[in-house]
Amino acid sequence: MTQSITCKKVTSLLALYIDNKLDPRMQLFVKQHLEICPYCHKKYIMLKQLISELRNAYKDMIQDTAAEEKHRQFNIKEYEKFHTNLSAYFDNELPLNESVSMKKYMIKFPNARKDLEEMYNLHKIINSSLLCVKKTLNEDYSKTICYRVLGKNPDFKKQITLKIASFVGIIIMLATLITANIPIGKTVKEKSIKLFKKTIYVHSPINHELASDLMQ
């Protein structure tokens, strides 16, 4: 029985033998042959090693690509998360743990910082525009609104001030007229008492006439 299987046959069957794909009888024949034939046994061990190495390498490769794929997907997701959270991060509205992860992400990918800078620039130009718009308002509504709240006529205060102003003005005019009397009166006394006596007027209008007379 053992002689019935040759080394050549065993060599061709080895691959199947390693995978246990022979029928039990043949399996037994090959096994028995390997036990007695050192040449075939050596071949068998070499082939087994080669196959197992290849299989391991293939497994590793598959695992590697799977991990890589997973890693890349994770990155895109991470970036999307980063991008959606960026606005809230800029406004300081993120919970602490999320803002820490945002910071970590920006340390990991320095390019991500550019997004944040862009947001900051947007904020800056909007605010400069706001200042320009604020400047275009030249009116002051404070007084009119205060009066509206008080339920008064906005001109109410103006009227009072006008009255006061006119009153003060009249007093000043009177005062100037009275004070103007004195020097003219003095000159009258000094220079022409006679002329003064001839005049009937006592009030101020006369002073102008008197003055003009004196000038002549």
Partner 1 sequence: MHLVKRHHKNLSRDNLILLAQQDDYHALEELIKREQKNVYASFYYLDPNRQDIPDLTQEALFRMAKNIKKLRDPKKFQSWFNQIITNLFHDEMRKKYKKPQTLSIDADTSEQSNIVNITELRDKKKLPAESTLAGELNNKIISAIHTLPEPFRVAIVLRELQGLSYEEISNITQTSIGTIKSRIARARTKLQENLKPYLIQ
Q: Residue 52 in contact with residue 15, Cβ under 8 Å? A: no
Please tell me the distance from the alpha carbon of residue 61 to that of residue 63, in angstroms, as a whole number: 5
Of the residues 127, 153, 159, 161, which one makes contact with partner 1 according to CB under 8 A:
127
Least distance between partner 1 and beta carbon 140 (Å): 7
Residue 210: CB atoms within 10 A of its CB come to 19
Of the residues 26, 116, 119, 180, which one makes contact with partner 1 according to CB under 8 A:
119
Q: Which stretch binds partner 1 (CB under 8 A): 16-24, 53-61, 72-80, 120-128?
A: 120-128
- Of 70, 73, 81, 88, the closest CA to residue 105 belongs to 81
Rank residues 46 and 146 by Cβ distance to partner 1 and give the closer one: 146
Site string for partner 1, 39-78 (x = CB under 8 A): ----------------------------------------
Rank residues 145 and 177 by Cβ distance to partner 1 and give the closer one: 145
Question: Which 166-205 positions form the footprint of partner 1 (CB under 8 A)?
Answer: none
Question: Which 130-159 positions form the footprint of partner 1 (CB under 8 A)?
Answer: 130, 132-134, 136-137, 139-146, 148-150
User: Can residue 88 be called a binding residue for partner 1 (CB under 8 A)?
Assistant: yes
Q: Residue 102 in contact with residue 85, Cβ under 8 Å? A: yes
Rank residues 131 and 215 by Cβ distance to partner 1 and give the closer one: 131
User: Can residue 8 be called a binding residue for partner 1 (CB under 8 A)?
Assistant: no
Site string for partner 1, 89-108 (x = CB under 8 A): --x-x---------------
Binding site for partner 1 (CB under 8 A): 84, 86-88, 91, 93, 118-119, 121-123, 125-130, 132-134, 136-137, 139-146, 148-150
